[in-house]
Structure 1
Amino acid sequence: MIGIRDQAAITLFGNSVRAKRLQKGFSQEELAYQCQIDIRQVGRIERGEINTTISTVFALSRALGLEVAHLFDFSLPPL
């Protein structure tokens, strides 16, 4: 099971983070500062380039003032 990635889910999550960030009026820099992560990390998450960690997901939700579940408010394509 090592190395399994669901690229569609990672991309949809990144799109969700971007949409929520823009709704809150945050720049990537502001979000990175609030989460205490590198600004490049925010860009990689939003572009679906990385499968981010649980701790970063929680930091994103706190910074955006959202429940964690709201970051996963998207539908995956059928299998």
Structure 2
Amino acid sequence: MQTLKNRVGRNIKSLRKTRDLTQEDLAYRAKIEPRRISLIESGKANPTLDTMYRLATALGVDASILFGRNLTFEWDAREERIMDEYRQMSEKDRLFIETTITHLLEKDPD
């Protein structure tokens, strides 16, 4: 049976990787020791509520997400990251991306 701290650790690790963050990156953002991230992700440490809040904030999610059973929102997070990048592009770059995607969607699969 999976323990709560294992689930929380797995969720934190999954969210961190989805955001292309290293343990050191996350530790810096959350203002906690990198070793602590490793212990939490491996289910060897019980994070305090303060640590959970810091991690959630650093990952850009509500703290309740860290307790979730399924991370069905992983794709949503990737999609949101892509859209954030798209929103920051110049109009010229956006047009290029739109044209490329349209071309790929219309391309004959054979």
TM range (shorter): 0.7 to 0.9
1:38-58 CA distances to partner (integer Å, 9 max, x unpaired)? 100000000000111000000
Q: Which residue of 2 aligns with 1:46?
A: 41
- Residue of structure 2 aligned with 1:30, choices 17, 20, 25: 25
The answer to which structure has the higher helix fraction is 2
What 5-or-longer segments of structure 1 have no aligned partner? 1-6
Greater RCO (Cα-Cα under 8 Å, separation 6 or more)? 1
1:1-39 CA distances to partner (integer Å, 9 max, x unpaired)? xxxxxx711111100100011011111000000011110
| Number of equivalenced pairs | 69
1:30 and 1:55 map into 2 onto residues whose CA distance is 18
Give the TM-score of the pair, scaled to structure 1.
Answer: 0.82
The structure with more radius of gyration: 2
Structure 1 runs, 4 residues or longer, greater than 6 Å off: none
Superposition CA RMSD, Å: 1.2
Cα offset for 1:74?
1.1
Q: Which residue of 2 aligns with 1:62?
A: 57
Give the TM-score of the pair, scaled to structure 2.
Answer: 0.60
